[in-house]
Homo-oligomer: A and B are copies of this chain.
Amino acid sequence: MNEEADTGGLFAPERVAVIGATEREGSIGAAIIQNLADFTGDVVPVNPSRDTVFGEPCYPDLASVPEPVDLAVVVVPPPIAVDAVREAGEAGVRNVVVITAGFSETGSEGAQREQELRAVAAEYDLNLVGPNSLGVLSTPAGLNATFGPSNALPGSLSFMSQSGAFITAVLDWANDQGIGFKDVVSLGNKAVLDESDFLTHWRDDPETNVILGYLEGVADGRAFIDTARDVTQDTPVVVVKSGRTEAGADAASSHTGTIAGSEAAYEAAFEQAGVVRAENVQELFDYARSLDGLPMPDSDEVGIVTNAGGPGVMATDAVGDSGLSMASFTDDTLSTLEATMPEEANIYNPVDVIGDADIERFETALDTVLADDSVGCAIVISAPTAIVDYEELAAVIAERRLEHDKPVVACLMGGERAEPAADVLGEAGIPNYFDPARAVSSLDALSVQRDVEARSYEAPESFDVDRERAREILTDAADRGARRLGVEAMGLLDAYGLPTPDSELVEAPDAAESAAASIDGDVVMKIVSPDILHKSDIGGVAVGVAQEDVADTYETLMTRARNYQPDASILGVQVQEMVDVDAGTETILGMNRDPQFGPLLLFGLGGIFVEVLEDTSVRIAPVSGREAGEMVDELDSAPLLRGARGRPSADEAAVEEAIQRLSQLVTDFNAILELDVNPLLATEDGVQALDVRLTIDPDQL
C-alpha cells in the first residue's frame, strides 16, 4: 500500500508512453499499442531500436519525449524492466504499469528484482501497478493499456483482479452481457499499489458505483480492513476471494489455531470491513448489477407478482433461504388487489395474476404491491404467454420501479424471447434472470449493503488496564526462557481486567498451606511447568483439596511431575480458589495470529461445542462492542448461554466485555502469538477465567 498514492493519473492520463513498443505480431508491445488505438490522449511509443511503431514516431527513451508523460507502460524484458522504471522516475512520470513478468512469481532471482523495483518506486514516489500485470483500462478516456484481447464497455463498475487471465475472460463475457466498467486494473504482484489503494481511489471516484475484486490474498490485512470499512460506508465492495480451500494451511499449532484457519480470518475481515463476499463469478456480477442499478430497500420484505404459480413458489422458497422475507400485505393492499384482480388470482403474496394476465393487470398488481409501505422490494415473474409482450412488460416494470423508488428485479423467463426485454430492463438498471433464485439473491445483496452502510463505525473500547504489569509478566517469562506459559500467567488476564479466581503460585508445601489458608475453603492445585502441557493427563491437577491435605497434595503433585518427566522445569504449584463450574457455562476465548490479518479472536462454548461441533465465531482484533456481541450471537449454541434447557443463564455483557478486554491485550502485545482462555466460565454474575495457555515470542517484546 502506498500511503500517499494519488492514483488518478493511472486511469486518466493525458499522455501514455509504452516502453518496449513494437509492431511484432503476437508481442505484448504490439498488442498494447493496438489496444490504445481509441485512447483520447496521446500515445508515445518508446523503443531504442525503432523509428516508428504503426506509423507513429517512436522515441529511443523517455528522456527524449518532448512533452510530459503521465503514465508509462513497461513491457521490456525482465532484466531491463527495473531500469526502465527508473528512467520513468527520472523523467518525472508518476504512474507506471509494469506488464513485464519474471519477478517474485518466479523464484529468488525474480524476488530480488521485485525488491529493486520496489526501491525504485519508493525513490521516485511512483504509483506502480504490477509487475506481472495485464495492464489497466479506463473507459471514459478510451484507455485500454492491457494486452488482453477485449476492451470494456463503458459503465460504473470498477474491477481489480489478482488474475489477469480472469480479466480477459470477464471482459469477453461482460461485453456479451452488456455489462460495462469504469476502470479495470490487473493487480499483478502488487509490489507497490495493492487492493487498498484502489479501494481508496474508487471511493473518491464519482463515476464508480460499485467496486469489484477478484483476490487471492490481501497484501496488508490490517490496512485492508481499515480502508474497506471506510469505503464500504458509501461504495459497495463485492469480492470473490479464492484459495478458500487452503483454509487452515497456515493454521498455528494450538488448539484454537487448528479450528480458525486463515479462511476464517478472511471471512471475519470481510464481515468487519463490510465487504460483500461473492462465492463465485456468477454471484460477483449478480450482486454488482443490482448494487449498480438499484436503490437500497427500506425493508427486507419482498413482494412478488407473477403470472406463473410454479416460478412464484420457487421465488418464495429462495426468499426463505435468503436474509429477506415475504411481505405481509396491508388490508388496503389486499382490498385493492381483490377489487382489481380476477377471482382466480391469488391476492396474497406471491401475487398470482394468472396466465391470462395482460400488461395492465401486471401493472396494477405491481403498482399496488409497491405502494404497500411494508414492501421493501419486489420481483416480477412472467412465463411466456401469448398475451404479454415482454418488452412492454419490461417498460412497465422500469417505470413502476422509478415511480416508487424501490428496488425491483425481473424474471421474464425465456430464451431469445426475453433478450430484448432484458435490454430494456438493463437500461433501467434492472437485472433479469431466468432463475428466480438468482433474482432473490441479487435483492439480498442490496439488503446486506444497506445494513453495512447503516452501521456506524464504533471504535474498540479502550479499557483501563495495567499494561505495565502485563508487560512485566511477559518479560519475566521471556527472561527465564519460557515460550509456552500456563496458569502461572493468569496475572496477565488479571492485569487486563478479566476476572480470575484467587490464586497463588507456590514453591513449597508450607507456602501452599498458607496460600490455601488465605483463599479459605477447598482449593484446586495444579502443577506448573512449561514442559508439561497436559497437566490433567499426568495427574498434575487436584480438585477439591481440603486445607489439611494441601501440604501432602503439594508433594504428590511434585512427585508425579518428576516421575513423568525427570528433567522438566517445574515452577511450582498453583493453589487456586475452587470454582463451581456447574454454576455456569464453560466457554473458550482464544486468539491466534493470522499471517495476513494479525490477531484472530475465537469464541465458543467449551468442550464438544468447539471440538466436535466446531461451533465457534471469529473476529480480527481489535473488536468493538458490537463485534463482540456478534461473536456471541453467531453461535448456534448461544441459546445455552441464555438459559435454554434450564441451564444457568450467563451475564452476556460480561462475556462481551471479556472478549473486548482480551482483544485489547492481544492488540497491545504482538509478543503473544497464541492464547487460550479455557475455560472462561460464564455465570449469571459475570465471567471467570479458570485457566490460560499462551505462546510468546520474546523478540516482539
Q: A607 to chain B: which residues have CB within 8 Å?
A: 645
CB distance from A321 to the nearest CB of B (A): 8
Q: Cβ of B414 and Cβ of A245 under 8 Å apart?
A: no
Q: Cβ of A26 and Cβ of B240 under 8 Å apart?
A: no
A660 at interface by CB-CB < 8 Å: no
A400 at interface by CB-CB < 8 Å: no
Select which of B434, B608, B613 is within 8 A of A281 by beta carbon: B434
Q: Cβ of A611 and Cβ of B384 under 8 Å apart?
A: no
Q: Of the 9-residue stretches A36-44, A157-165, A296-304, A649-657, which lies at the interface with chain B?
A: A157-165
Select which of B164, B168, B216, B414 is within 8 A of A169 by beta carbon: B414
Identical copies in the complex: 2
Residue of A26, A310, A639, A645 with most partner-chain B CB within 10 A: A310
Q: How far is the CA of A30 from the CA of B243 in the complex (A)?
A: 57
Select which of B174, B176, B636 is within 8 A of A612 by beta carbon: B636
A571 at interface by CB-CB < 8 Å: no
CB distance from A230 to the nearest CB of B (A): 27
A385 at interface by CB-CB < 8 Å: yes
Q: Cβ of A245 and Cβ of B319 under 8 Å apart?
A: yes
Q: How far is the CA of A176 from the CA of B176 in the complex (A)?
A: 15
CB distance from A315 to the nearest CB of B (A): 9
Q: How far is the CA of A386 from the CA of B32 in the complex (A)?
A: 13
Q: Cβ of B385 and Cβ of A162 under 8 Å apart?
A: no
Q: Cβ of A415 and Cβ of B165 under 8 Å apart?
A: no
Q: Cβ of B311 and Cβ of A417 under 8 Å apart?
A: no
Q: How far is the CA of A660 from the CA of B314 in the complex (A)?
A: 35
Q: A173 to chain B: which residues have CB within 8 Å?
A: 413-415, 418, 434
A244 at interface by CB-CB < 8 Å: yes
A175 at interface by CB-CB < 8 Å: yes
CB distance from A497 to the nearest CB of B (A): 31
Q: How far is the CA of A149 from the CA of B414 in the complex (A)?
A: 11
Q: A26 to chain B: which residues have CB within 8 Å?
A: 386-387
Q: A644 to chain B: which residues have CB within 8 Å?
A: 608, 611-612
Q: Cβ of A310 and Cβ of B242 under 8 Å apart?
A: yes
Q: A317 to chain B: which residues have CB within 8 Å?
A: 242-245
Q: How far is the CA of A87 from the CA of B434 in the complex (A)?
A: 41
Q: Cβ of A435 and Cβ of B282 under 8 Å apart?
A: yes
Of all chain B residues, which has the CB nearest A26?
A: B386
Q: Cβ of A165 and Cβ of B637 under 8 Å apart?
A: no
Select which of B176, B313, B437 is within 8 A of A279 by beta carbon: B437
Q: A387 to chain B: which residues have CB within 8 Å?
A: 26
Q: How far is the CA of A355 from the CA of B169 in the complex (A)?
A: 12
Residue of A316, A320, A414 with most partner-chain B CB within 10 A: A414
A318 at interface by CB-CB < 8 Å: yes
Known contacts A173-B413, A309-B163; is-contact A320 B244 (Cβ 8 Å): yes
Q: Cβ of A415 and Cβ of B280 under 8 Å apart?
A: no
Some 5 contacts from A to B, beta carbons below 8 A apart, are A31-B386, A150-B384, A165-B355, A169-B434, A613-B613
Interface residue ranges, A against B (CB under 8 Å): 26, 31, 106, 148-150, 161-166, 168-169, 172-177, 214, 216, 240, 242-245, 279-282, 307-311, 313-314, 316-321, 344, 355, 383-387, 413-418, 434-438, 607-608, 611-613, 615, 636-637, 639-640, 644-645
Q: Which 5 residue pairs of A and B lie closest in terms of their CB atoms, listed nearest first?
A: A163-B310, A176-B415, A165-B308, A245-B320, A169-B413
Taking A245-B319, A282-B435 as known contacts, 12 extra A-B pairs with beta carbons closer than 8 A to each other, sorted by chain A number, are A26-B386, A106-B344, A149-B385, A166-B308, A169-B308, A172-B415, A172-B418, A243-B317, A281-B314, A281-B436, A282-B437, A613-B613
